[in-house]
Amino acid sequence: MLLEASELRKSFGGVVAVDGASFEVAEGSITGLIGPNGAGKTTAFNLISGFLRADAGAVRFAGSRIERWRGDRIARAGLVRVFQTPRVLTKMTVLENVMLAAKNQLGEGLFLALAAHARVAKREREVRERALATIETLGLTHLVDAFAGTLSGGQRKLVELGRALMAEPRMILLDEPMAGVAPVLAEQLLDHIRKLRVEHGVTMLVIEHDMDVVMTISDRIIVMDEGRVIADGLPDEIQRNERVIEAYLGRLDSKAAEA
Amino acid sequence: MTGNVLTVSGLHAGYGDEDILHDVAIDVPRGAIVAIIGPNGSGKSTLLKTIYGLVRTRKGAVVLHAADGATTDLVNMRPSAITALGLNIVPQIANVFPDLSVRENLEIGATPIRNRFDAQFAKVSAALPLLRGMLSKRAATLSGGQRQMLAVGRALMSDPRLLILDEPSAGLAPKVQDKVFEMVKDVNALGVSVLMVEQRARQCLAVAEYGYVLEQGRNRLEGRAGDLLVNPEVIRLYLGRGSRAAAAPRE
């Protein structure tokens, strides 16, 4: 297992958002994380990616215990997050946005910039090449010099995905990739997600409300409700799981029905 | 004369430039409880807000039928005017004034019928008897279930013919949810028609006579509540149709 979360717990004031959730993600898989509103999915993402610290529980990524690590350290270890609302820098171009996310950039210190000018320039060329290749993979070559602020919601998501790829991740956490994406681009985005797994071996954990999408792209599905994991299985098992159906549609044996 | 209290037809509405509702049509028969269900983002709450004039209608009709058969198209009317005509709403959140007492909340609800407060409260408290014991409490001190009861009571104080409920069970513990659905039946027993949106589709259908299922802002299914309860297509709408195994191979 590439990622293992065990007995994760997090509350905000009196509200328990994640209540002892345990789950695993196999290397090379696309795993869906679903659950009704308020199930604790995004909080679970925040705990795994180091945006929030768990009150209790453990997270293991590629063999290391990461639950006390800061977000940037987790990202450098290869676990990268893509947000529901793209965080592109609107006044920079697509290329600049993607280049920014590269690992191990030189030239940030004045000393290096002056003393090792050639090395910095070379490294920058490499980053540029790689960014252009990534942009091409995502089918955004025609928009390389466009300001990110002029892009559609779906295109911004692709840029955000490109930035995640520049960090050469082993695993990507995708928070609602399909939200706010026009249907035409949604298909493309899905293809990219599949391709990343096949061609780059990137493992993905995906929160997605569009059930047709999540059931189609996922190898396995983890279902959360009220902060706990209530089911874990193959998509068609999940679709038939009575506990899952209950979480989404409510209980069948309501007392009110008998009255 | 249709026997409806509300007839919505060909409704298009949304926020900004984007339409959320596409050609939505629903009927609420007089005296009925009608459920609107559907997965996240299906447009349920937007539909309620559009009916009540909180979201602009771009096209279509929202017709309220009075007891004498007279009809009024509510499209682009102000919410306060809609309330005065006999349609009131209980929003999902911010549905009581927390710093005011229960009684003051009810008085505000009774604004359209100000001089009949006592008579109307007698009627409302027949369905919601627990309100009688908490009149002097500050709304902020109520439990989640009590607060929802007050929100419903406040809306009923305007003496509506049709009450619209936006996810009345949201955020409540399971036992309290059951009480809320029972309360809806008690309110309906007063002769008030109810149109409700719910996340807890099955509990909602269990108290409703008729239901509509929306998907992505369109009418998807409708039928007697009992039939929808056992319709497997409803589950598919919530949990998806395809799966990896079933999906066509694609390269």
pLDDT-above-70 percentage for chain B: 95
How close, in Å, is residue B236 to chain A by CA atoms? 8
More confident residue, A166 or B48: B48
Three-state DSSP at A21 gives strand
Three-state DSSP at A232 gives strand
What is the model's pLDDT at position A256? 44
Model-level pTM?
0.81
Q: Does B93 touch chain A (CB under 8 A)?
A: no
* Mean pLDDT, range B227-231, rounded to an integer: 93
| pLDDT reading at B245 higher than 60 | no
Among B33, B182, B243, the residue to mutate for chain A (most A Cβ within 10 A): B243
Mean pLDDT of all residues belonging to chain B: 92
Residues of B in contact with A254 (CB under 8 A): 178, 181, 202-203, 206-207
Residues of A in contact with B40 (CB under 8 A): 37, 209
Complex prediction ipTM: 0.79
What is the model's pLDDT at position B248? 42
Q: Does B242 touch chain A (CB under 8 A)?
A: yes
What is the model's pLDDT at position B105? 96
Of B83, B61, B67, the residue nearest B1 (C-alpha)? B67
Q: Does B204 touch chain A (CB under 8 A)?
A: yes
At B131-155, the pLDDT tens digits run 999 999 999 999 999 999 999 999 9
More confident residue, B49 or A114: B49
Three-state DSSP at A180 gives coil
| pLDDT reading at B246 higher than 70 | no
More confident residue, A8 or A250: A8
Q: Does B42 touch chain A (CB under 8 A)?
A: no
CA distance A139 to B152: 52
For the ranges A64-73, A118-127, A163-172, B60-69, the lowest mean pLDDT is seen at A118-127
* Mean pLDDT, range B86-113, rounded to an integer: 93
Kindly indicate the confidence band of residue B219, based on its pLDDT and cuts at 50, 70 and 90. very high
Any idea of the CA torsion for B125, B126, B127, B128, to the nearest 10 degrees? 30
- Beta strands A64-65 and A56-61 are antiparallel
Element (H, E) at B18: strand B18-29
Residues of B in contact with A249 (CB under 8 A): 37, 200-202, 234-235, 238
How close, in Å, is residue B149 to chain A by CA atoms? 16
Q: Is B231 left (phi over 0), alpha (psi -120 to 50) or beta?
A: beta
pLDDT-above-90 percentage for chain A: 54
Long-range contact pairs involving A130-137 (C-beta distance under 8 Å, separation at least 24): A130/A102, A130/A166, A131/A95, A131/A98, A131/A99, A131/A102, A131/A162, A131/A166, A132/A95, A134/A98, A134/A162, A134/A165, A134/A166, A135/A94, A135/A95, A135/A98, A135/A162, A137/A162, A137/A165, A137/A192, A137/A195
Q: How far is CA B247 from CA A210, A235, A237, in A?
A: 15, 11, 15
Residues of B in contact with A239 (CB under 8 A): 235-236, 239-240, 243
Kindly indicate the confidence band of residue B193, based on its pLDDT and cuts at 50, 70 and 90. very high
CB contact under 8 A, B199 and A36: yes
How close, in Å, is residue A77 to chain B by CA atoms? 30
- What are the residues facing A231 on neighbouring strands? A223
A206 neighbors A177 (Cβ within 8 angstroms): yes
Closest partner CB to A245 (pick from B40, B204, B239):
B239
Among B92, B239, B244, the residue to mutate for chain A (most A Cβ within 10 A): B239
Helices (H) and strands (E) in chain B, counts: 9, 10
Residues of B in contact with A209 (CB under 8 A): 39-41
What is the model's pLDDT at position A103? 64
B36 neighbors B44 (Cβ within 8 angstroms): yes
